[in-house]
Amino acid sequence: MPKGYWVSAYRTISDAEKLAAYNKLAGPAVEAGGGRILARGSRVVAHHAGVAERTVLIEFDSFEQAVAAHESAAYQEALVALSDGVERDFRIVEGID
């Protein structure tokens, strides 16, 4: 079964306090959903139209598990805390089996 991945590339961070509140809630929500953080805030080299800002990569055992974790009440609460504190490109991607 292919793994699932959350890929989140931040374009801008306009409110560090909202991001901190989100991180406090999102971490436990991701772990409860079976996610494993592979990269978070590490060095980024952007090419083409990319932006060298914060990038997060999270792995799940399946695509379905990744979708379910995003839809969970705990993660939705984290999104409310984040609200308009950042602009980011967030995707859930199915890996190759």
Dig out the tokens for 18 from the structure.
């909202």
pLDDT of residue 57: 97
- pTM value is 0.92
User: What CA dihedral angle connects 27, 68, 33 and 94, to 10 degrees?
Assistant: -90
Structure-model confidence comparison of residues 41 and 7, the more confident one: 7
Nearest Cα neighbor of 3 from 28, 38, 29 is 38
67: containing domain:
4-94
User: What CA dihedral angle connects 29, 3, 85 and 48, to 10 degrees?
Assistant: 160
CATH of the domain at 40: 3.30.70.100
* 25-58 per-position pLDDT tens digit: 999 999 999 999 999 988 989 899 888 888 999 9
| Number of separate domains in the chain | 1
Q: Is the pLDDT of residue 97 over 90?
A: no
